[in-house]
Amino acid sequence: MSIKQAASLALKSIMGNKLRSFLTMLGIIIGVASVIILVSIVNGLTSNVVSIFDELGTNLITVNVGGRGSNRSVDPADMQKIVEENSDCLMYVSPSVAFMGTVKSDSDSLDNKTVTGVSEDFEKIRVLKIENGRFFTYMDVTNKNRVCVIGTYLQKELFDGQSAVGESIKINGKKFEVIGVLEEKASSESGSADDVIYLPYTIAQKMSWNGRVSMYYFSATDTDHSEQAVSKIKTELYKVFQNENAYTVMAMSEMIDQINEITGMMSTALAGIAGISLLVGGIGIMNIMLVSVTERTREIGIRKSLGATPWDIMSQFVVEAITTGALGGVLGIVLGVAASFAVTLFGVASKISFTAIAISFSFSVLIGIIFGYFPAKKAARLNPIEALRYD
């Protein structure tokens, strides 16, 4: 008997009892579908997070100087020197001084806004695009000019979307001139990349509670030089602090790698858990196949009396189990892909993984083979005389 005949026989037997076949496949369907859904969601999450970090620039390096365990300190000029002495791998540095504040225009007021003081180089480090006006300059920073650059969210809220350039706002009661508005990045929503206010850090230092700069943004010449740049910065900082706990240096590229690693592990773990339900599905197939062999004892006897070899009987049942597994796999894929699309309608990011589809399908076929083998072997071994007598 050919594989083709065995397959058509198997399909017939599966179609002959649709409800039972469906219940048999249910474990596989759920297993495959959940592998696909979970991997899709983790994938979607990963690419979302990665794109956020990508946005910040993969050559970005953040440095925190807490000064823990050391009584020394660095100032923005020291940091600038590090950049100048390592121009092969470093391009710019900007201090970052953030504080919370109330921001007011003549007509509106916003509470609890993060206000960030940076240097003129921040514009290049973060590749900011100015829609209107300009970013502040070296002179603005050294002269401690009361100027600021705002995101489109603030323009929308404080100036009803009218151009804010040249207008003035009050930050914690102090008057600032808006000299630039950034290009819209995230539909001007609250808390997004459009909800920002930048001042010269020299002024921000005066307005924050201790005036200390504890955070710096560096940019490496390019992503490939990030690692080298990180180690240069670390070396220089160690010279000052003599203590590794006093600072942390983190490259964005490294962070993205870490995120990818973590979510990769997550998705493997989740797929593994979902894989267990595939295994349970396999046991389901085996159960039903064993019942089916018993029910069909007489049929097996008849087939044997007509010349079916043990191999013929064996392949009939194995092919049936494989077909059940494969059919369950296909239904699971359909369900999984549909559900992965459906969750996006509820705002959950998902990205379908073809590897997950391929692996879970192969796995369900494999399960058909493994768990179909034992019942098939049992069927093939039946004694034809006893099988014919069975009722």
Partner 1 sequence: MTALVNLRNIYKIYGEGESEIHALDGMSLEVHEHEFVAIVGASGSGKSTCMNIIGCLDTPTSGEYFLNGTDVSTMNEKELAHIRNREIGFIFQQYNLIPKLTVLENVELPLIYRGISASERKKKAREALKRVGLSNRENKFPNQLSGGQQQRVSIARALAGNPPVILADEPTGALDSKTGKEVLEFLKELNRDGTTIILITHDNSIAEQTKRIVRISDGKIISDEVKEAQA
Contact 186, 192 (CB under 8 A): yes
Query: What is residue 256's three-state secondary structure?
Result: helix
User: Taking the complex as a whole, how short is the minimal distance between the CB of residue 312 and partner 1, in angstroms?
Assistant: 6
And the tokens for 383? Answer: 């004694």
- For partner 1, the binding residues (CB under 8 A) are 1-2, 5, 12-13, 16, 298-299, 301-312, 384-385, 388
Give the burial class of 327: count Cβ atoms within 10 A of its Cβ; 0-12 exposed, 13-18 middle, 19 or more buried.
buried
| For partner 1, the closer CB: 119 or 315 | 315
Give the gyration radius of the chain's Cα atoms.
33
CA atoms within 13 A on the CB side of 141: 18
User: Taking the complex as a whole, how short is the minimal distance between the CB of residue 329 and partner 1, in angstroms?
Assistant: 25
| For partner 1, the closer CB: 173 or 307 | 307
Give the burial class of 161: count Cβ atoms within 10 A of its Cβ; 0-12 exposed, 13-18 middle, 19 or more buried.
exposed
| For partner 1, the closer CB: 13 or 58 | 13
| For partner 1, the closer CB: 5 or 242 | 5
* CA distance to 259, 271, 275, per residue, from 352 (Å): 19, 13, 17
d(CA 372, CA 289): 7
User: Taking the complex as a whole, how short is the minimal distance between the CB of residue 378 and partner 1, in angstroms?
Assistant: 15
DSSP state of 218: E
| For partner 1, the closer CB: 103 or 380 | 380
User: Taking the complex as a whole, how short is the minimal distance between the CB of residue 1 and partner 1, in angstroms?
Assistant: 6
d(CA 199, CA 185): 19
User: Taking the complex as a whole, how short is the minimal distance between the CB of residue 318 and partner 1, in angstroms?
Assistant: 17
d(CA 142, CA 138): 6
User: Taking the complex as a whole, how short is the minimal distance between the CB of residue 9 and partner 1, in angstroms?
Assistant: 9
Contact 199, 150 (CB under 8 A): no
| For partner 1, the closer CB: 302 or 366 | 302
